[in-house]
Amino acid sequence: MSVASLPSREIHAQLEAVTRVFPAAPGAGAQPPVHALGPVDLDLRKGEFFAVVGPSGCGKSTFLEVLAGLQKPTAGTVTFEGKVVNGEVADGIGVVFQEDASFPWLTVWDNAAFGLRRNGVAAAEIRRRVDDTLAFMGLKDFARAYPSQLSGGMRQRVCIARTLVLQPRLILLDEPFGALDAQTRLLMGDEVLRLWRRTGASVLLITHALDEAAMLADRVGAMSARPGRFIEVIDTGWPRERDSTIVGEAAFGEITARLWERLRGESLKALGHAGADSMAAE
């Protein structure tokens, strides 16, 4: 890997001692407060691809939403490009969710143009950016189709296109391929790598799939069972020019094995398995 292709060391987003506690629900039979996240510290470098893996319910999505500004941290500080993020999505952040968030009443083209129109961008510029993004995402021939005419993978591409046209500098992906089959996920992974290289944006991917994280990311953060904390951050060392064929490399297997080694005990804990620590140590 050439030095020039290394992600910049400049910190793009930062979390310092961030925690998120959901308060107790009021009323009779109230649930106690839920400590969902943290304390978490992370320096996300400019232009890097960072993946977060962890057991179900460990707070991965909460982590993403706090970083995005969709939730306020209970304690700690989140900054993006040096400015504090506190419960409001900052300009330059784009989010793609796991659920199908395409708008069924709009065509693919209008879905992609949604954010630009809301921002009052000139019509000619909207046309240029939307056409360009749809071509890049392989949706050009479906511009006039409605989301219901597309497969799940293509609908997710529409949501990614809607995010990309806004030219975000930080793209947050919350398990965007969770509902897709394994082959489609691999291909979508290639597309995400392609858009990451083209846009130069920093990407943070939340996923439950260790292989996906190992294949896509420069660094993978392994999160503990709830409350989620980073128990290890693994540097994959992949070159920037990579695709899904790296799953055949020995290093890929080593990274995936290392992640599972770190997460097995945490996954057992998350399942409420007695003696999770000793089982994990076996």
Partner 1 sequence: MTRVGLIRLAVIVGAIGALELACRIGLIKHQIIIPPSEMASALWTLLASGSVNADIERTLGIIVLVIALSIVLGFAAGIAIHALPRVRAALDPFFATYYAVPVFIFYPVLIAIFGLSVMPIVLIGVATAIVAMIIATLNGLDRVPRVLTKVARVHRLSRIKTAVTLQLPAAAPYLFTGVKLSVSYGFIAVIAAEFILSPAGLGRDIADAYADFNNRRMYALILFLLIVATLVNAALHALDMRFAARRSGGRP
Chain positions 36 to 65 lying near partner 1, rule: CB under 8 A, are 65
DSSP one-letter string for 172-194: EEESTTTTS-HHHHHHHHHHHHH
Supply the minimum distance, in Å, between the C-beta of residue 96 and partner 1.
9
Q: Is 153 in the site for partner 1 (CB under 8 A)?
A: no
Which is closer to partner 1, CB of 2 or CB of 118?
A: 118
Among 77, 149, 151, 183, binds partner 1 (CB under 8 A): 149
Q: Is 138 in the site for partner 1 (CB under 8 A)?
A: no
Among candidates 46, 34, 38, 48, which has minimal Cα distance to 15?
38
Among 22, 103, 252, 260, binds partner 1 (CB under 8 A): 103
Q: How many residues bind partner 1 (CB under 8 A)?
A: 27
CB proximity list for 110: less than 8 A, separation 6 or greater: 103
Among 145, 179, 187, 231, binds partner 1 (CB under 8 A): 145
Which is closer to partner 1, CB of 21 or CB of 106?
A: 106
Q: Is 52 exposed, middle or buried (0-12, 13-18, 19+ CB in 10 A)?
A: buried
Structure tokens at 93: 């952040």
Which is closer to partner 1, CB of 100 or CB of 243?
A: 100
* Residue recorded with tokens 């143009």: 113
Q: Is 130 in the site for partner 1 (CB under 8 A)?
A: no
Q: Is 22 in the site for partner 1 (CB under 8 A)?
A: no
Q: Is 151 in the site for partner 1 (CB under 8 A)?
A: no
Among 3, 27, 29, 118, binds partner 1 (CB under 8 A): 118
Contact 12/169 with Cβ under 8 angstroms?
Answer: yes
Q: Is 126 in the site for partner 1 (CB under 8 A)?
A: no
DSSP one-letter string for 188-237: HHHHHHHHHHHH--EEEEE-S-HHHHHHH-SEEEEEPSSSB-EEEEEE--
Q: Is 231 in the site for partner 1 (CB under 8 A)?
A: no
Q: How far apart are CA 34 and CA 226, in angstroms?
A: 9
Supply the minimum distance, in Å, between the C-beta of residue 121 and partner 1.
13
Greatest alpha-carbon pair distance for the chain in Å reads: 63
Residues contributing to the site for partner 1 (CB under 8 A): 65, 68-70, 88-89, 91, 93-95, 97, 99-101, 103-106, 114-115, 118, 145-150
